[in-house]
Structure 1
């Protein structure tokens, strides 16, 4: 049997094929496509029992209806997030869905720190200057994170890994989550209300899932509570931040820096080449104008270690489907 994989990036292709070979040998193969799944491309899935998707694929009711009509019975999502999939529609059309619940938390935690340090020490601005042989230090003044307060919103595996790095920097740790992490408590983390977290953090990093109760958890009111010179990092889900409110906060000259690896309207933009097009998203365009903001293209997970684990888990999910098992990663069995 051949599986069809949508939105496979160039650096992912070999890792995906290797994972399928490791799981199935020569019994099954995968056909990687660089196009994303949507209403225009869904006809290409006709005849495929199993399709592999990512966070930038569109699996709404119409796409799922077309998949089912073409014979698809299983969607294997190559990510932890699945807010791009209409699970109710999948269930109605008899399509099982699985995701990758866990992969290297260090990939995302380390990248969150990459953003925090790059913003704080003005690394991008400095690199651009030195390319033009401008070696002045004007406007590049940062500050020590040592001795300051790191706030972690969401202290699961990734949040805990972020906190361990913060502890290594010698930072005071604050956390907010519905469940307290024993690992974070052992580091000396104090769990506080979201209001205190926003108010007291010098560095606030978001590691919460996107749920109805966390949508725009960082809204205008939360941003107003933050210190004027705080650093905000989001490597989790774009919808955690009200981006319009963030733009207004930055326009007011508040926040020392912002590092965003995700954006609430990133679908159809991130992981695409838009360099020859007019940017029609005014909010994203305005974000790019702030010299203290770094926007990366949802790449925090993008290490050989993490992607390899994601591909291996995806192949294992496919094996469960073919064997008639509903593994722990299944969202719709």
Structure 2
């Protein structure tokens, strides 16, 4: 994957995964995201770094936050954005995905933002391009969601100086979560040593899963959250699991939901994060989701700047 994502000199060529990405590259993207925030005056001032570039959003799964923030990020950088309508395209007539990509390439598009239910689809597209277009993974199956990992790291980075001193718990449907995998990748690369995964046994990955090798597995949130600096809560991905994989929502919340009492077991000021969409009072209580320690809406805001940084890195003319 290293040869696919990085061009000569270490410049980003595609963004498929954060696994194995050099720390210097990640830190450069995070620094650039902060520069985008500053230069755009928090998003109020448009920039023209990508004037004349064309980006196509190819979303084969529903999305609110990711699709909208990619759209805003590209537009604020001056690019033309096409939101490809899958249901009204020739894919419903049987056209293959790669034939669709090659057709769009022939129209001189510069980047494809791809979300797909099948793991590996963005990589397949990137390896079969016939042009110099860039591919950005907006979430593929349970494999990766790299821009979510970057925006989560950006959100934490604005509050901490040393990632190595953090204790972080990720709680929820980890087995089916591409967000969990990208968060683990980026947090490990940035130096987090105490990274705890918490879920019912049915929703934890296999204990020998290489991508989680340096994480600790904890089966109760009451134990996992003790003395944590951050809690990243994940939704139950019912569309990716068998119906019998979890107890009722009420039982799940009683054991794994984050409420004020459980949050009090963490360090004072422990921040709460969630990639959305939230299932309120299933994985997180209203009082916590809307509370003073919640960074959930800040994550959404940071997503625009993180994606601006990635798009500029990939598409800015030099």
Q: TM-score range by the shorter chain?
A: 0.3 to 0.5
TM-score, normalising length from structure 1? 0.40
Structure 2 length as normaliser, TM-score? 0.42
Q: Which is richer in helix?
A: 2
Q: Compare CA radii of gyration and give the structure with the larger one.
A: 1
